[in-house]
C-alpha cells in the first residue's frame, strides 16, 4: 500500500529504498536482471539526537545533510538514482483491518472513510489515508475486509519537503510495517499463517501482526536496543561500544546460570515478554476467532543479542527466529554483500528497495 506512487509509462526506473528514523538514515538499492537479484549499494548514517523526534522532523537542514552524506558514501556500488521510496514512521501511523458490508470499490470510498474516522485517534481531515480490499472470505460472508492506513499530514508534508531539499524525486511513501512484511515474510506464505514481527529498534520496539502478507494491526512500545546497551553499560561498567559488542558476542546464553549480561537486562526482557504476550492476546480478541500467532520474527538492531530468540521462545512457547530479509530475493548462488547481523538493521530499507526493484509489477 503506497500513499504516493507515480505512474510511469514505457520504462523501468531505478529506484532505491530509504529508511528514515529518529536516529539514522539507511539506504538500499537492489538491481534485477531477468530472474536474478543483486544488492547494488547500501549505507547508514546516524542522525544526531534532537533532529527527528518521534517521527517529527525538527531540523530539516540537518536531516538533509545526513541524507546527502549516506548517498555520497554507500557500501559496494554507488546508488545510481535520485528516485526514492521512503519510509513513514510506524509510531505515527494507524494501520487496521476493518469490515464493511460488501459493495463496489466506488461505493466503499465513503464507507471506509467514515469507518476509519470512527476508529482512529486522529480527525480524517488531519491525515492522508489509503485503503484496499483484502482478497479472501471474511468470517461473515456479507462483509468485506478492508486494509486501512492513515498518517498525519504534517509528518508526510515535512518528509516530502526534506526529500525535495535533498534533490530526490519521490516515487513512493510507505509505512514501515508494510516494508518489513515484504522483506521478512515469504511471498508464498498462506493467508492462514499469522506472524508477529518484533522490530527491536534503537529507541522503540514495533509489533506488526500479519495474516499471510497482510498487516492486521501495528503498535509500538518504548523498549529499545539502546536501553539494553545502557543497562549493560551501567551494570558491567563498560563503554557503550563494549556493551554493544558484549551483547552481540556473549549475549544471554546460559541465562539459567545468571550470567552478568542476563542479570543486567533481565527485568527489561521480562517486560518485553509481557508486552509480546499482551499483543498476542489483543490480536486473539480483535480477530474474533481465537486466531493464534504461529511464528515470531525478530528484526532491528536489538535482534542481534546472542541467545535472545531462544530465551523468548522458551518464555512464550512459540517459535522465535531472527528474520531473513533475503527470503524474497532471487540471489541464486550469490551471497549478500552485507552480513547477517547488519542485515537485521536494514529490514525496512530492504523492503522498500524490493518495492522499488519491482515497481512496474
Same structural domain for residues 20 and 8?
yes
Mean per-residue pLDDT for 291-299? 91
Bridge pairing between strands 4-5 and 169-175: antiparallel
With CA atoms as reference, report the closest residue to 330 among 28, 39, 81. Answer: 39
Per-residue pLDDT for 138 more than 80? no
Is the pLDDT at 270 greater than 90? The verdict is yes
- Domain at 119, CATH number: 3.30.1490.300
Residue 241 shares a structural domain with residue 308: yes
182 grid coordinates: 515484504
Do 25 and 158 reside in the same domain of the chain?
A: yes
- 315, 257: one domain: yes
Share of the chain above pLDDT 70, in %: 92
Domain span at 135: 92-152
Q: Where are the beta strands (DSSP E) in 212-322?
A: 214-221, 295-299, 319-322
167 shares a domain with 33:
yes
Of 152, 176, 203, the residue that ends a domain is: 152
Quick one: pLDDT band at residue 140, thresholds 50, 70, 90? low
Measured at the CA of 61, the angle between CA 56 and CA 65, to 5 degrees, comes to 105
- Contacts of residues 140-146 at CB distance under 8 Å and 24 or more positions apart, as own/partner, are 140/99, 142/101, 142/102, 143/99, 143/100, 143/101, 143/102, 144/99, 144/100, 144/101, 144/102, 144/103, 144/108, 145/97, 145/98, 145/99, 146/97, 146/98, 146/99, 146/100, 146/108, 146/112, 146/115
Tell me if residue 359 falls in helix, strand or coil: coil
Distance CA 85, CA 355 (A): 8
Give how many domains the chain has, as a whole number.
Answer: 3
* Whether residue 68 has pLDDT greater than 60: yes
In a shared domain, residues 206 and 280: yes
* pLDDT at res. 2: 63
How crowded is residue 317: how many other Cβ atoms within 10 Å of its Cβ? 8
Q: What is the pLDDT of residues 145-195, one digit of tens each?
A: 899 999 999 999 999 999 999 999 999 999 999 999 999 999 998 888 999
What pLDDT is recorded for position 255? 64
Q: What is the pLDDT of residue 10?
A: 45
> What Å distances lie between residue 244 and 138, 279, 315, CA to CA?
46, 28, 24
Name the DSSP letter for residue 153.
H
Statement to judge: residues 217 and 286 lie in one domain:
yes
Q: Are residues 353 and 225 in the same domain?
A: no
pLDDT for 360 equals 65
Of 176, 171, 197, 195, the C-alpha closest to 293 is: 195
Q: What is the pLDDT of residues 100-122, one digit of tens each?
A: 898 888 888 888 988 888 888 88
User: Does the global pTM surpass 0.75?
Assistant: yes
What's the whole-number mean pLDDT along residues 293-313?
93
Report how far apart, in Å, the C-alpha atoms of 111 and of each of 1, 96, 104, 141, 325 are: 19, 15, 11, 18, 36
Percent with pLDDT over 90 in the chain: 56
Task: Tell me: do 129 and 143 sit in the same domain.
Answer: yes
pLDDT tier for residue 256 given thresholds of 50, 70 and 90: low
Q: Calculate Rg over the CA atoms of the chain.
A: 20
Task: Answer yes or no: do 8 and 157 share one domain.
Answer: yes
Place of cell 558484549: 246
CATH code assigned at 160 = 3.30.420.40
33 and 171 fall within a common domain: yes
d(CA 131, CA 278): 27
CA distance 45 to 2: 25
Query: pLDDT tens-digit profile of 240-253?
Result: 899 889 988 888 98
In this structure, the answer to whether residues 280 and 206 fall within a common structural domain is: yes
237 pLDDT above the threshold of 70 = yes
Sort strands 319-322 and 295-299 into parallel, antiparallel or unpaired: parallel
Mean pLDDT of 19-30: 95
82 versus 288: which is more confidently predicted? 82
Mean pLDDT calculated for residue range 267-284:
94
Q: Report the b/e string of 32-68 with b at 16+ CB within 10 A.
A: eeeeebbbbbbbbbebeeebbeebebeebeebbbbbb
Amino acid at each position: 500500500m503506497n500513499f504516493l506512487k507515480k505512474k510511469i509509462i514505457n520504462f523501468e526506473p531505478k529506484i532505491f529504498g530509504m529508511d528514515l528514523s529518529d536516529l539514522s538514515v539507511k539506504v538500499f538499492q537492489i538491481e534485477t536482471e531477468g530472474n536474478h537479484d543483486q544488492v547494488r549499494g547500501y549505507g547508514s548514517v546516524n542522525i544526531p539526537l534532537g533532529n527527528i523526534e518521534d517521527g517529527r522532523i525538527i531540523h530539516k537542514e540537518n536531516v538533509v545533510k545526513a541524507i546527502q552524506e549516506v548517498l555520497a558514501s554507500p557500501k559496494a556500488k554507488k546508488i545510481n538514482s535520485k528516485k526514492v521510496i521512503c519510509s513513514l514512521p510506524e509510531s505515527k501511523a494507524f494501520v487496521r483491518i476493518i469490515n464493511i458490508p460488501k459493495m463496489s470499490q466506488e461505493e466503499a470510498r465513503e464507507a471506509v472513510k467514515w469507518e476509519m474516522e470512527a476508529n482512529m485517534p486522529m480527525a480524517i481531515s488531519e491525515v492522508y489515508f489509503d485503503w484496499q480490499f483484502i482478497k479472501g472470505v471474511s468470517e461473515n460472508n456479507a462483509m468485506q475486509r478492508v486494509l486501512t492506513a492513515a498518517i498525519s499530514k504534517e509528518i508526510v508534508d515535512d518528509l516530502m519537503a526534506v526529500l525535495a531539499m535533498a534533490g530526490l524525486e519521490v516515487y513512493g511513501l510507505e509505512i514501515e510495517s508494510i516494508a518489513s512484511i515484504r522483506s521478512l515474510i515469504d511471498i508464498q506464505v498462506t493467508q492462514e499463517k499469522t506472524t508477529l514481527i518484533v522490530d527491536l529498534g534503537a529507541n522503540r520496539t514495533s509489533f506488526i501482526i500479519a495474516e499471510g502478507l497482510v498487516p492486521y494491526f501495528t503498535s509500538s512500545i518504548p523498549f529499545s536496543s539502546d536501553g539494553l546497551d545502557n543497562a549493560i553499560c551501567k551494570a558491567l561498567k563498560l563503554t557503550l561500544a563494549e556493551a554493544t559488542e558484549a551483547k552481540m558476542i556473549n549475549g544471554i546464553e546460559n541465562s539459567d546460570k545468571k550470567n552478568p549480561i542476563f542479570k543486567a537486562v533481565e527485568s527489561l526482557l521480562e517486560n518485553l515478554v509481557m508486552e509480546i504476550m499482551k499483543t498476542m492476546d489483543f490480536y486473539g480478541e480483535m480477530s474474533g476467532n481465537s486466531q493464534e500467532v504461529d511464528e515470531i520474527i525478530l528484526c532491528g538492531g536489538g535482534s542481534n543479542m546472542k541467545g535472545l530468540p531462544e530465551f523468548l521462545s522458551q518464555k512464550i512457547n512459540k517459535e522465535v527466529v531472527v528474520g531473513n530479509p533475503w527470503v524474497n530475493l532471487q540471489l541464486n548462488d550469490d551471497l549478500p554483500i552485507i552480513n547477517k547481523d547488519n542485515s537485521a538493521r536494514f529490514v525496512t530499507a530492504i523492503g522498500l528497495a524490493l518495492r522499488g526493484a519491482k515497481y512496474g509489477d
